Amino acid sequence: MPPRSRTALAVITCLLGSAPMAAAEVPGPARQHANGSTTLYVGSELAPLPTVGAITGVEATIRLIRLGGLTIDGRAGGALAFSAVARGALYGARAGVGAGWSVPITRRMLLAPMLEYDLFILWDSTATPAVDVHRLTGELTLSTLPYPHVVVDAVVAVGAAWVNGARDLALAIGPRIGVAF
């Protein structure tokens, strides 16, 4: 292995190995939030899906953080999609679940890598059957705690989506705002 590669590997190993210790040393609201909280969110996202130019909607999410960072969430909401295949817009419902780990990175910010699964059921304005879209993504959430009990998230997700047996790249970005208990 070349010396430069060995050096890079050593630096990455040190950073990954020290991340839990560094997170444990961050005091403040982010540490308290990661040690145990329940947050109710409302949010939106923008995402392209297979056969759909873009999808957006409103969702409600409940996120539980326990055991020093273990994060589990569930969400449900409505969706509006703009399709290149169907006649105009599609509308529907969505539901999803996720799990990951929340790590404080500053006094008021947490970073949460998550694995997320979402199901979208979409209809168009004709009598055609509903289309179900399954999406599995790796999600990175940056949570900011600007005030007591207020959480603002920026979310980026990348993964795969399936519709009618076809797989496609899934991308999603969006904001969420929540109240923490």
172: CATH? 2.40.160.20
Give domain status of residue 6, yes or no.
no
Give domain status of residue 172, yes or no: yes
In a domain, 125, yes or no: yes
Q: What is the mean pLDDT of residues 67-79?
A: 94
pTM of the model: 0.80
Confirm whether 148 is domain-assigned. Answer: yes
At residue 9, the pLDDT reads 55
pLDDT value of position 15: 45
- pLDDT score for 4: 56
Number of structural domains (the chain) is: 1
Higher-confidence residue: 4 or 43? 43
Q: What is the pLDDT of residues 7-44, one digit of tens each?
A: 555 555 544 454 444 445 667 899 999 999 999 999 98
Phi/psi region, residue 28 (left: phi>0; alpha: psi -120 to 50; beta: rest), is left
Within a domain: 147? yes
For residue range 122-150, list pLDDT tens digits in order: 887 777 788 888 999 999 999 999 999 99
Report d(CA 48, CA 56) in Å as an integer.
9
Does residue 11 belong to any structural domain of this protein? Answer: no
Domain containing residue 73: 28-180
Which pLDDT score, from 0 to 100, does residue 100 have? 97
Contacts within 8 Å (CB) and 24+ apart, 93-97: 93/120, 93/121, 94/57, 94/59, 94/118, 94/119, 94/120, 94/121, 95/119, 96/59, 96/135, 97/72, 97/73
Residue 8 lies in a domain: no
Quick check: is 20 in a domain?
Answer: no
